[in-house]
Amino acid sequence: MSRRLTLTFLKKNWEFSIAVFILAYYLLVHVVLGSAHRHHDSGLNAHLRVIPQDVISHWDQASSFHDHTVEKYAYVQYATGYDYLNMAIINFILLKKSGSAIKNMVVLYDSELQRHHVDHWQRLHPLASKYGITLKSVTAITADSKDSSNWAASFTKFHVFDQTQYDRIVFFDLDSMLVPDSNGQWQNIDELFKIPQNITYALPQAYWLNNIVELKEGFNNVYHKKVEIPSPKRYHTQVQGILKNMNRNADQFLELPTLIYDHHKYDNRDDFFANHVMVLTPSKKVYNELLQYIHNPWHWSIFSRSKLKKKNDYDMEILNKYLDDQLRSKEPNTRVGVLPHRTYGVLTGEFKERWHRRFVVEPQHLPFITKQSSEGWDASQARKDAKLIHFSDSPIPKPWDNQDSTLYYNQFKIYCAESARKDPATFRELYPGEWQPRLVDDCEAVLSWNSYRATFYEVQKEFWVV
């Protein structure tokens, strides 16, 4: 039938035309668009899973450390300045005080440090030696010698992947701090070493950077709020079911929860994972591949443009690009677990946020929340759950830097509104200038934020030597 005859047929048989239109509409709405709301198995769930806190506790209780195993485990931090080196040593002293079973505690430091402020080195080295902490010099890794930003040498972190004398490493940034429990006893995170070895990497989700939650243009937000998020009690019950299945499955990784939609990961190529705490298996191959993501081979400009380093890409963005490519390629030896951020990835800045729903929900449920909500938030519970916190309050200085109550950054602090009403004189005395903290009703959040700094100041009195 010719094209002209076909058009004539459709015009005369309007019922047929309507039927064709209805069928096309149904296919568009229920098949093409509707498929966006269903989980397409791209193979991601064979390589990326969420690790609930109850599962980590289960692994911790199900096995004990053996001497021959512990010898091949290490905690590692890195430092490119003396203040950070001092903080790294303090963190490891706190680990020692906690009774950690891990003997190897290693600080990778920029070899240039020993050439400057020798007096600092002469005080720090004996302190590290006293507590059995290893200081290992490495060459700082930078992408551009002209880059003077605070993150220019952050690539030095990648030396941790090259520490192949160890079978397993738990790394955390040295602007983090181990915190005491509710009884004042220092905590460790030894349980992370009991995550199965076939999980190559475990690290938290960067829940505060999610492009879908932010409803950024061009990202797959069509499934926003399409999934019912279980209550904590119901989720706990679900995880108990997972634990029962684990006892029957030799490959426990495949029993862990998956992301609900693959685009939850793929729409956050550069910032899905946070890397201020990581569990990893060192690999020379991975280390060399990461260096390529910093210093790009010339042919990437032609054949692999998505891998190219951007001007403002630093350690976090580069590691995310690398892991994203590994997951997309379905590299058989790559298995990544998402750590529970409420225990190991707590940013101090979270307590200053206006909304906390992103922090409260489990990683796989993040795309389905409303950002401007604090449903489920309890600052005191958040403080109780945390074992490792990360001082992340920019532009407020780190607690070991100089503080000035009259400068502009004080407006980004928080202060209990009730306390300000009851004792306005103290409020004005603490903040005499025009830049004053935001008054909030969540006084528990204020208490939590202040308590972390107070804890640091107490430790600083004893161990700060620079």
pLDDT attached to residue 35: 39
Residue 248: what pLDDT? 82
The per-residue pLDDT for 425 is: 97
Global pTM? 0.89
Q: What percent of the chain has pLDDT over 90?
A: 78
Give the pLDDT band (50/70/90) at residue 38: very low
Q: Which is more confident, 76 or 16?
A: 76
For residue 36, pLDDT beyond 60: no
Model confidence pLDDT, tens digit, residues 132-145: 999 999 999 999 87
Q: How far apart are CA 16 and CA 12, in angstroms?
A: 9
* Highest mean pLDDT: which range of 114-123, 148-157, 203-212, 268-277: 268-277
- Looking at residue 34, what is its pLDDT? 38
Quickly tell me which residue has 């950070």 as its tokens. Answer: 84
pLDDT for residue 289 is more than 50: yes
Residue 17: half-sphere exposure toward Cβ, Cα within 13 Å: 9
**Rounded to an integer, what distance in angstroms lies between the CA atom of residue 358 and that of residue 362?**
9
Position 362 pLDDT exceeds 80: yes
Mean pLDDT of the chain: 90
**How confident is residue 306, by pLDDT bands cut at 50, 70 and 90?**
very high
At residue 373, the pLDDT reads 94
Burial 101-119 (b: 16+ CB within 10 A, else e): ebebbbbbbbeebeeeeee
Residue 440 near residue 446, CB atoms below 8 Å? yes
Give pLDDT, residue 9. 55
Average pLDDT of the segment spanning 274-293: 98
For the ranges 240-249, 403-412, 454-463, the lowest mean pLDDT is seen at 240-249
Contacts of 381 (CB under 8 A, 6+ apart): none
Question: What is the average per-residue pLDDT within 4-11?
Answer: 54
Q: Flag the least confident range among 17-31, 90-104, 392-406.
A: 17-31
Please name each of the domains of the chain with its CATH number.
44-387 (3.90.550.10), 393-463 (no CATH)
Q: What is the pLDDT of residue 22?
A: 62
CA distance 426 to 419: 9
Which structure tokens are listed for 270? 């550069």
Q: Indicate whether 216 pLDDT > 80.
A: no
How much is the pLDDT for 227?
Answer: 84
When pLDDT is averaged across residues 202-209 and rounded to a whole number, the result is 96
pLDDT for the residue numbered 142: 92
How would residue 149 be classed by pLDDT, with cut points 50, 70 and 90?
A: confident
Question: If pLDDT is split at 50, 70 and 90, which confidence band does 150 have?
Answer: confident
Residue 45 sits at the vertex; the CA angle it makes with 41 and 47, to the nearest 5 degrees, is: 130
Please check the confidence at residue 175 and state whether its pLDDT lies above 70.
yes
pLDDT of the residue at 371: 87
DSSP state of 375: T
Residue 245, helix vs strand vs coil: helix
